[in-house]
A and B are shown apart, each in its own frame.
Chain A
């Protein structure tokens, strides 16, 4: 798989380099700064964004639990077909973390996948989901992140081979897969509330939707279940044909981790449940309403 992907990417790179368009096409994009003008962050609401977004699950130190998970020192590794990615330090430390950033820097990172230095982040960071968040969500999260403990652990480099090591290539990938269009349309207010939690902050599709050879989500198979990256088993389908639990049962699972049969969540999902348990019951029911509204392919 890896070799095939390399060849496809190298071929793509060469073709585009030849035309000289590569550099122009792959320029890092930015959020519309006007949307952030005059926004004041509310740290308390930012904690909700933080929990719903699952930030701590990836950015806390390996093996951290309980309160330690609020120190976003980074260092967890994520294996994929493209290489192994290491979550960076996003604590408020001004050198090792993101303490010297501005709100717009955070917005560019989370919603365009671009660093303050203008480099593309790899999509292991789910900016294709976070792009759907509201500017106020980002502002509130930014206020909350400042309240967390700093860590001076330096971020570790990703272990990514050529050609994926050319981060400009990610610019091409973004042309294909970074869009602010939502996947599910609905007139129902509760479903729309769930949509923010599922499609934007919770980034459920990152594990529960299959990917194509380029690592893009197969939107026509949205949330129908997928093999996990790094050979860690399977994330089950969440569409009504796969998941026949009631909305209350889904909400209970997201609160206690218990299924209707009193089985309990395993693998990475235990981290997710740790986060969704911190949301309100209304939020969990909104997630359930969204899942029930999904089309069956």
Chain B
């Protein structure tokens, strides 16, 4: 009897810990995927400033930013959408429910971004105009993924 009670208490404790771990895991995943987005955004900001003529074209800076964007775009995001990390379930989350269930779709959209980022990397050495054109393709890839998998709470 004593053992049974102990086992129950232990199981209850584990259950609580499991939930807490689940929430932490969901939050960690959300923060990880948002961090990747921030790396995208930072480098896009540098390249867009050049494309719009707000910053002077410096091939070294442009190529570094484009190369880092391309590298970041190769980070696999598909495992960063665990259960409980969707919009409504987790504060701060803007992941549409489809992002959690459609890993192959997320992968497909990310491949499109990766290809566009590789083109941007090639354009980065050619000047502001080439960067501007390649940025439009990257923007299209961002939009295509957000259209399917992002939702404001």
Partners in one complex: yes
**Residues of B contacting A261 in the complex (Cβ-Cβ under 8 angstroms):** 41, 45
Chain A CB count within 10 A is highest, among B94, B151, B153, for B151
**Residues of B contacting A258 in the complex (Cβ-Cβ under 8 angstroms):** 44, 48, 139, 142
Separation of A7 and B143 alpha carbons in the complex (Å): 41
Task: Please pick, from B139, B140, B147, the residue contacting A267 in the complex, using a CB distance under 8 A.
Answer: B147
The answer to whether A267 and B41 touch across the interface, beta carbons within 8 angstroms, is: no
Given contacts A256-B135, A258-B44, A258-B48, contact A265 B146 (CB under 8 A): yes
Chain B binding surface SS class? helix
A211-240 vs B, CB cutoff 8 Å, 1 = contact: the mask equals 000000000000000000000111110000
The answer to whether B151 and A270 touch across the interface, beta carbons within 8 angstroms, is: no
Chain A CB count within 10 A is highest, among B143, B144, B146, B151, for B143
Separation of A261 and B42 alpha carbons in the complex (Å): 8
Separation of A20 and B146 alpha carbons in the complex (Å): 51
Given contacts A256-B136, A257-B139, A257-B142, contact A262 B147 (CB under 8 A): no
**Residues of B contacting A56 in the complex (Cβ-Cβ under 8 angstroms):** none
The answer to whether A266 and B139 touch across the interface, beta carbons within 8 angstroms, is: no
Separation of A261 and B45 alpha carbons in the complex (Å): 7
Separation of A263 and B94 alpha carbons in the complex (Å): 12
**Residues of A contacting B48 in the complex (Cβ-Cβ under 8 angstroms):** 256, 258, 262
Chain A binding surface SS class? loop
The answer to whether B87 and A264 touch across the interface, beta carbons within 8 angstroms, is: no
Q: Is A271 an interface residue (CB 8 A)?
A: yes
Interface size on A, as a range, is 20 to 34
The answer to whether B150 and A267 touch across the interface, beta carbons within 8 angstroms, is: yes
Q: Which residues of B contact A (CB under 8 A)?
A: 37, 40-42, 44-45, 48, 87, 94, 96, 135-136, 139-140, 142-144, 146-147, 150-153
Q: Is A273 an interface residue (CB 8 A)?
A: yes
Nearest CB on A from B69, distance (A)? 11
Chain B minimum-CB-distance residue to A235: B152
Task: Please pick, from B41, B45, B147, the residue contacting A266 in the complex, using a CB distance under 8 A.
Answer: B147
Task: Please pick, from A234, A236, A262, the residue contacting B40 in the complex, using a CB distance under 8 A.
Answer: A262
**Residues of B contacting A270 in the complex (Cβ-Cβ under 8 angstroms):** 143-144, 146-147
Chain B CB count within 10 A is highest, among A256, A257, A261, A263, for A256
7 A-B interface contacts by CB (under 8 A): A233-B87, A257-B139, A257-B142, A258-B139, A264-B146, A270-B143, A271-B147
**Residues of B contacting A267 in the complex (Cβ-Cβ under 8 angstroms):** 96, 146-147, 150-152
Task: Please pick, from A236, A256, A266, A271, the residue contacting B150 in the complex, using a CB distance under 8 A.
Answer: A266
Chain A minimum-CB-distance residue to B41: A262
**Residues of A contacting B150 in the complex (Cβ-Cβ under 8 angstroms):** 266-267
Nearest CB on B from A40, distance (A)? 35
The answer to whether B143 and A273 touch across the interface, beta carbons within 8 angstroms, is: yes
The answer to whether B151 and A262 touch across the interface, beta carbons within 8 angstroms, is: no
Given contacts A261-B41, A262-B40, contact A232 B151 (CB under 8 A): yes
Nearest CB on B from A253, distance (A)? 10
A40-75 vs B, CB cutoff 8 Å, 1 = contact: the mask equals 000000000000000000000000000000000000
Separation of A271 and B94 alpha carbons in the complex (Å): 18
Name 20 extra pairs, CB < 8 A, besides A266-B94, A266-B152: A233-B96, A233-B151, A234-B152, A234-B153, A256-B48, A256-B135, A257-B139, A257-B140, A258-B142, A262-B40, A262-B41, A262-B48, A263-B41, A264-B146, A266-B146, A266-B150, A266-B151, A267-B96, A271-B147, A273-B143
Separation of A125 and B37 alpha carbons in the complex (Å): 36
Separation of A228 and B72 alpha carbons in the complex (Å): 32
8 tightest Cβ-Cβ pairs between the two chains A and B: A266-B150, A266-B146, A262-B41, A233-B151, A270-B147, A264-B142, A270-B143, A262-B44
